[in-house]
Amino acid sequence: MLKWFLVIVVLVLVTGLMQPGLARRLRLGRLPGDLHFSFRGRGYHLPFTTTLLLSLLAWLLLRSI
């Protein structure tokens, strides 16, 4: 149990560190369906398509294990 917990923590840490570079290369957050809008001088970002894509990828990865 502890082994799996450590593996998950390390994977989340590595993914978090790699995310800015991967987002630029893979254009995550800029896909069709990701919403960007401004309201009262503040910018808001709602990455619907990116979230669906990453959820599908995680589901497929976990299903193959």
The answer to whether 28 and 47 have CB atoms below 8 angstroms apart is: yes
CA separation for the pair 17, 14 (Å, rounded): 5
CA separation for the pair 55, 65 (Å, rounded): 16
CA separation for the pair 59, 56 (Å, rounded): 5
6-24 pLDDT tens trace: 999 998 899 888 888 877 8
Is-above-0.75 flag for pTM? no
Instruction: Label residue 64 left, alpha or beta by phi (over 0 means left) and psi (-120 to 50 means alpha).
Output: alpha
- Res. 26 pLDDT band, cuts 50 70 90: confident
Q: Residue ranges per domain, the chain?
A: 2-64
